[in-house]
Amino acid sequence: MSIFANLFKKNDNASTKVVGNVEDFVSLTRVYFQSVIAVNLGITNIRFIPDVAQFKRLFKIPTQGGKLGLAEKSAAKKMLMQDYGIGESFFKEIDNSVKKNCRNQNDVQSYLFMYQGFSSDLMMLMGNLMQWKFRVPSIFKGALRTMTAKTVHEVCTKTVWKKDDVHKTAMAVKQYKERLGYSEEWMTEYVYNIVLLAKKEPKPKKDQAAN
């Protein structure tokens, strides 16, 4: 199944567009990452950037100026800004991180692997630390963003955690953050949007059956 299968669901009104789920947001972010890498390094083999390849096929995006990644980067950025409200600074940090860490094609796989570890550990840690806060109704978006920012700040500044597993993951996230070059603001934006989207997704059927 396509990772973008639910990105734009059409209902009876053809002009109505429904934004997709957590997977769509994370996948679009990966498309932007890989597109920036392709443009910066002049990558011509699309198999080297699989998320861009799938995105390109799904939305039938023509290659711009004979340069792979250029049109895909613009399209992914436009979707993230329009449909998720992502600000310009979010993309600038990605651009700077890629420029700093991917000087040649040999750096790409290790960079993407490092980013994947950063993203996974960050979300696992935030899920562990915030827990009840995730249950705050979506209408209180401002409060949820503030809570997210506060927790991210703790992760980036606190040196000792009581639970060993939390401490280990928090230290790993801090190391990833320094190596990749992302700010607390970037991390907050990323986590907040994933939490907000997750809250909109339907509950598992087993929970409904238990009621």
pLDDT digits (tens, 9 = 90+) for 93-126: 999 999 999 999 889 889 989 999 999 999 999 9
Give the residue among 78, 64, 25, 34 at the shortest CA–CA distance from 52.
34
pLDDT, residue 179, reads: 95
Q: With bands split at pLDDT 50, 70 and 90, how would you rate the model's confidence at 55?
A: very high
182 to each of 135, 150, 161, how far by Cα in Å? 27, 16, 22
Q: Which segment of 26-30, 116-120, 127-131, 148-152 scores lowest on mean pLDDT? A: 127-131
Q: Compare 56 and 9 and report the one with higher pLDDT.
A: 56
Domain boundary among 86, 115, 138: 86
Residue type, 194: I
**From the CA atom positions of the chain, what is the Rg in Å?**
18
Q: How many domains in the chain?
A: 2
Q: Are the CB atoms for 160 and 167 separated by under 8 Å?
A: yes
Please check whether residues 137 and 182 belong to one and the same domain. yes
Would residue 132 count as lying in a domain?
yes
* 61, 127: one domain: no
Instruction: Specify whether 75 is located in the same domain as 159.
Output: no
Is 120 part of any domain? yes
Give the end of a domain, one of 56, 86, 116: 86
User: Higher-confidence residue: 72 or 1?
Assistant: 72
Query: How many C-alpha atoms does 31 have within 13 Å on its Cβ side?
Result: 29
Question: Could you tell me which residue, 133 or 74, shows the higher pLDDT?
Answer: 74
Say whether both 70 and 133 belong to one domain.
no
pLDDT of amino acid 18: 45
Same domain? For 73 and 125 the reply is no
Residue 113 lies in a domain: yes
* Residue 130 binned pLDDT confidence (cut-offs 50, 70, 90): confident
Say if residue 130 is in the same domain as residue 81.
no
Examine the fold and report which residue of 37, 60, 86 is the final residue of a domain before the chain moves on: 86
pLDDT of 193 higher than 80: yes
In a domain, 5, yes or no: yes
Please check whether residues 132 and 52 belong to one and the same domain: no
Residue 195 belongs to some domain of the structure: yes
- Residue 112 domain flag: yes
Domain interval for residue 193: 104-202
Do both 111 and 23 map to the same domain?
Answer: no
Q: Are residues 81 and 147 in the same domain?
A: no
Q: Is 1 in the same domain as 80?
A: yes
Report which of 132, 181, 134, 177 is spatially closest to residue 155, judged by C-alpha positions.
177
Asked if 138 and 182 sit in the same domain, the reply is yes
> Could you tell me if 126 and 70 lie in one domain?
no
